[in-house]
Every structure is written in structure tokens, then in C-alpha cells.
Amino acid sequence: MIDDIELPDDATRPVAPRLGNVTEEQRQPGRHLRMIHDHHRRNMQVLRDVIAAAEAGEMSAAEAQKAIEDLPLVQNYRRFGALCGQYCQIIHAHHSIEDAYMLPVLSEKADGFRRVAERLKAEHDVVHQLLLRLIDTLNALMADPGPAPFAAAREIYATLERLLNSHFRYEEDSVGDALGYYGIGL
């Protein structure tokens, strides 16, 4: 289901330059970034649990929809469309903001940060491909809630979740301190 998407290899990620004498105040933007990512991580956990419960027959379609609708993230972004589309749109918007504002400024600070920013943007593209695939798969699942559509949804979602968790850690570790050090706002 995802064989045609080239997943990034964590081992090939560029290493960001190390910054000396980063103050506690300069660490705050990186902590803020981590809080945003933690919010996404919590929502991914809920979505994973809902998919598993629905597949196991422990939750009806109506109960699954209610569980997803109760996520604060979804409540805040109802205007973006279908349930999964809402979450997918939020992740896409988060990465689009980083690509348009945060990463270009960071790229100007050092060649090592330019390489990290290029890698983060490339990973954003793969995340976007997986999000689109997940939307299509979940739409198919709603039309036919059989074993094969559940397996496809589970595979794509698990891959997306692994990639996002790894991506978030890499981003936090690579650029967190640099945001405050260079005065780059979020």
C-alpha cells in the first residue's frame, strides 16, 4: 500500500551544528516546539487506539467518530473537512508554516542548518504523501469496513506515526536550541 513512497532513512539525516552557551531563555522556543509536537503525539495515540478498537469490533463507527470528534484538535479545526482530513490538514499546515517561515531563516545561519532544513522539508513531503494516502484509505474503509481496508489503514497509519515521531524528535534535537539562539520565532 505504501511501496511506492520512498521513506527517509534516519541514518542519512544531517547533523546540526552544535551551539555553545545556549541560555535557558534561548531554549524556550525549542520547548514550545516540543509542546506543539507533544500535542500531535497525543492525538496520534488517540487515533491509533480508535482504529484498533474499530477494527476489533470494540467500537461502532458512530463511537469511533465521536471519539475522534472529541479530540480538542479536531474541535478547533472542524472547518477543514472530513474527520481524518482535519488532522491531516493540521499536520500539513504545521509543516507548511515551518517550510515557509522557520526553515528558510534557519538555513541562512550556517551551512549545517541549511542541510538540516533541506532534510526536514524533504521529510515534510513524505509525510504529506502518507497523509494523502491515509485519507484515501480511510475513505475506502468507511465504504467497506472489511479486513483488507482495515489492514491497509493500519499499515499506512503505523508508518505515518513512526515517521512523524522520528521526524519530531529529529527536528526538536536539531533546531530546538537554534530557534532561540538566533531569535527565530514560531
For each of the chain's 186 residues, which pLDDT tens digit applies?
A: 788 999 999 999 999 999 999 999 999 999 999 998 998 898 888 878 877 877 777 776 667 666 666 655 444 434 334 445 566 667 767 777 887 888 899 999 999 999 999 999 999 899 989 988 887 887 787 777 778 888 888 899 899 999 999 999 999 999 999 999 999 876
Which three cell numbers, joined as nine digits, stand for 137?
484509505
Q: Which of 8, 12, 185, 14 is nearest to 113 (CA)?
A: 14
Q: Which of 94, 108, 111 is nearest to 33 (CA)?
A: 94
Please name the residue that has the C-alpha cell 517550510. 99
Q: What is the pLDDT of residue 69?
A: 61
CA 163 to CA 2: how far, in whole Å?
13
Cα dist. 149→111, 139, 146, 152 in Å?
44, 9, 6, 5
For residues 71 and 46, is the Cβ–Cβ distance under 8 A?
yes
Q: What is the pLDDT of residue 159?
A: 95
- pTM of the complete model: 0.83
Q: What is the pLDDT of residue 59?
A: 72
Q: What is the pLDDT of residue 68?
A: 62
